[in-house]
Amino acid sequence: MDDHQVAARGVSCLAAIADGVERGAAFPAADVAVALRFLREWVVAVHMRKEDDLVGPAVAMRGDERAAELVGELFRLREEIGELLHSLVLFWEPLGELTKEETVGFTSTVSALVQRLKRRQLLEERELFPACNRFVGADDQLQWLNEFRELENQRGPRGDWAGQIDALAQRWLTRG
């Protein structure tokens, strides 16, 4: 759940950036690059791997039919998130201003990405985590803590990103 707080804040920053660009603000290439790197390198490559490599499979194997369907939905959302994020990384890390068409493409792609990220987080919090507590034993869950730490050691812990996300939030979430 601590991961979710940082992830949600980073997603909110990207949404606020896109909103500003849509309203005519200059394209903040450096801030967009930080937000996209955060999503790619930590949210997808670390946080979602914790859920998709460990939690989801355990819930699907030990749970009921609804639990298995939920895990399938979460995996589908991860694929869509990955594709949208890939599109943003490829096409919207420019050095200059966006054209009108690029602005529309950027903001609509961010909107789709944010929608899916929020949907996934909601499903995890309301359904996956309770299902995990119902179907997966505490001993297995405790073992995951070591695997979570190992994954973060390979790719970087949440704390490495928290400062960068806080800086984005200061610029984008505190605007009036």
pLDDT digits (tens, 9 = 90+) for 85-117: 999 988 766 566 788 988 999 999 999 999 999
**3-state DSSP assignment of residue 27:** coil
Separation of alpha carbons 46 and 7, rounded Å: 11
What pLDDT does 90 receive? 82
Contact 70, 123 (CB under 8 A): yes
What pLDDT does 153 receive? 87
What pLDDT does 109 receive? 96
What pLDDT does 155 receive? 82
What pLDDT does 94 receive? 58
Q: What is the mean pLDDT of the chain?
A: 92
What pLDDT does 92 receive? 65
Q: Please state, in angstroms and as integers, the Cα–Cα distance from residue 84 to each residue in 13, 29, 44, 76, 135, following that order.
A: 17, 18, 12, 13, 32
Residues of the chain with pLDDT under 50: none
Separation of alpha carbons 128 and 67, rounded Å: 7
DSSP state, 113? H
